[in-house]
Structure formats: structure tokens, C-alpha cells
Amino acid sequence: MNILLIIGNGFDLNLGLPTDYGHFYQYYLAPQVGADARIIGKELAGDLLNGSSNWADLEKQLGQISVKYNKAEAYVDDIDHISDELTRYMRAVDSLDIPHIEDIAQIVYHDLSRFTDYLDNAKRNDMNAFLQQRSDKGEIHLDVITFNYTSVFERIMECWSNLPVHGPIKEYTLCHIHQKLDEHGILLGVNDVNQIANAAFRNNYDVKATIVKPFINKDYESGIDKDCEKAIKQADIIILFGSSMGDTDLYWWNFIGDSMNGHPKRLVYCPYDRNPTAETKKILRINNRLVNFVLSRMSLDTNGYVNVGSKILPLRENRLFDFRTPKDRMKANFAEAMAQLGIVNYKR
């Protein structure tokens, strides 16, 4: 059986890592970084007040800010600057210690092996019936696609190879859909040229090669997009954890929707969320909202909407991957990362 785990920023936040874009903004707008000398820095400064923590919001804003520029060269230069500084910040975060990483690795392994335990009754029954139809031997091939820049999941997989873990996951692969910190530069940007507000820049090759993520993957022929598409197509079960499913990655949400339309595969969706409830009527309403949210991110016709909707299994309240991370760890980690970067005066 092929299981695909797709993780978003909620996974790293769940570990207490300061990886939301509010943290990065505080670094980026520090005087030492010099962002205030750039149009992009001045425009982003006001966004600290809106309280959003989704990377998709930052990426979408990068497309909207393009109207402030008269020359594509200046726009590209500023995008390169923010991308370079994000790489620098994330490298500091990625160097932070993750206490009890071996225990965390065992939790992840257990939850992926027994994720049906966390489903509500009706959805668990649906999944168990689906698994019986598969007539599998119980062995799992696991693919992981991470939208994150950190190497957290590499560390988890390393623990799997070192610890005496016995279970159904026999082999596993990992793909960084937005590239890794130590390779060819991270991908930061929009889903397509229509998300670049300055229409004059939309056909500019340098702009597209800087900020349009699917264009970069395709034109560079990194193979990342093909590997991820293959993993999505061959998956029997897709588990999506901690992702806001933002507009700047619509290509992938549409691709997942298309792969599920006319195919029996199931999608388990678990946002990064902690709103526990035991009331049946509230559970039903929350589950329905989660299903409709996932469907809203996929470009499906009426038949596809109904067909795919019946195969989405919501998982509420972050019951998956509950690491019991202390509440004060993120604040301490942020302070340590900023100290590494030489930033001492910032809004705490």
C-alpha cells in the first residue's frame, strides 16, 4: 500500500520551531538586514500588524507588491534579497536542537501506521472498508512531500533507521517541493503569472524565473515536480497535515483533486488546529467544514466535487502527531535563532 504524507508549516510549528512568517518578518525588518532600503521591505512592514502566519500570505503579497515597481530588474533584485534572507533565517532555525527527537520519530511512525485510530466513527469505517478492498499485506511504502524548508523530516527518518522500530513501514522517500536550504536556492513565490499584479511583468522571463514556482521547476528541469506528481498519482492514501492549502500552491491542490477524481484513493486532512470538542453535532459540523475547505482548493466540476468529497476524511484537533511540545519552546527557539543571526533588538 502506498501512503503519501504531505506536510506544511504546521508540522514544524508543532515542534516549537519559529517558522511562521511573522517570525521571519521580525528578522527581515530588523535594521541589521537593511530591508527598509527596499520597496519590498517598506511595503511588508505594515503586514506585521495583520497577525497572519501563513506563508501563502507572504508569497501572495510578493505578487501584489509588483505594482509598486517600474522596472522588472529592481523587482527581481528585491525578491532575490528577501529569498536570500529567508534562507539565512531558516538555516538558523534549522540548526536548532529538537529535544527528544527519537521519541518524536516514534510518534510519527506510530501515527502513520495507525492513523485510522484517530478518525471519527463513520470515516474510520469508510477507511477500514477501503483497506480491506486493497487486500494488502499490511506493508506500507511511504512517500513524504514537504512544503517546508527545514530538514526536520530528514532527522526523523534518520531516527527510523537507527532505532529498533518494528512496523508496517518498510521503505520511505522524501521530496522537498520548494527545494532545500543547502541546494540550489529555495522556491518562494506565486502559483502562476496571474498572481503577479503588475501585468507588464507577467511575460518577463527573469520575473517568471524568480517568482513563479511551477515555471521554475519545469524550466530548470529539477525533476522535483515530476517526483511529486508521481508520488501523488501512485498514492492509495494521501495524508495532508499542517497545510493552509494557500493560493500560491494551487497547482498542487488541483493536481491532487484531479488524481482523486475517478480514483478510489482517500485523502486524510488534518490542519494545525487545537479546538477539542466531544459533542457529536459540533464534530459533524467541523468535519463538514474541513471537507468543504479542501474541496474549495481544487478545480473540480460538479461531478468531481461530489466524487472527491466523499473520499476526504477530516482529522480534527491535531490528534495526529501530538508531540506535547511545551508552550514556551517556540519563544525560546526564536530568541536563540535571532541571537545566532546577531539580531538583539526586535519585537518580542
- pTM metric for this prediction: 0.94
The helix (run of H) or strand (run of E) holding residue 314 is: strand 312-314
Half-sphere exposure of 194 (CA within 13 A, CB side): 4
Among 321, 316, 324, smallest CA distance to 268 is for 316
For 226-233, the CB contacts below 8 A with 24+ separation are: 227/175, 228/145, 228/175, 228/177, 228/252, 229/255, 231/4, 231/143, 231/145, 231/173, 231/175, 232/4, 232/145, 232/256, 232/259, 233/259
Grid cell at residue 133: 478492498
Amino acid at 27: Y
Q: Tell me the average pLDDT of the chain.
A: 90
Judging by beta carbons within 10 Å of its beta carbon (0-12, 13-18, 19+), is residue 302 exposed, middle or buried?
A: exposed
- Determine the pLDDT at residue 42: 85
Ramachandran bin of 219, using left for φ above 0, alpha for ψ from -120 to 50, beta for the remaining angles = alpha
Residue 164 CB neighbours (<10 A): 4
Among 178, 171, 138, 167, smallest CA distance to 157 is for 171
pLDDT tens-digit readout, 96-111:
999 999 999 999 999 9
* Dihedral angle over CA of 301, 305, 311, 315, nearest 10: 130
Identify the band that residue 348 occupies on the pLDDT scale cut at 50, 70 and 90: low
Identify the band that residue 133 occupies on the pLDDT scale cut at 50, 70 and 90: confident
Identify the band that residue 138 occupies on the pLDDT scale cut at 50, 70 and 90: confident
CA distance to 43, 74, 110, 142, 294, per residue, from 170 (Å):
49, 50, 13, 8, 30
- Determine the pLDDT at residue 164: 64
- Determine the pLDDT at residue 54: 72
pLDDT tens-digit readout, 299-325:
999 999 999 999 999 998 878 999 999
- Determine the pLDDT at residue 119: 93
Q: How many secondary structure helices (H) and strands (E) does the chain include?
A: 15, 6
Residue 216 CB neighbours (<10 A): 21
CA distance 36 to 39: 7
pLDDT of 125 > 80? The answer is: yes
- Determine the pLDDT at residue 215: 93
Judging by beta carbons within 10 Å of its beta carbon (0-12, 13-18, 19+), is residue 321 exposed, middle or buried?
A: buried
Least confident window among 158-167, 234-243, 277-286, 301-310: 158-167
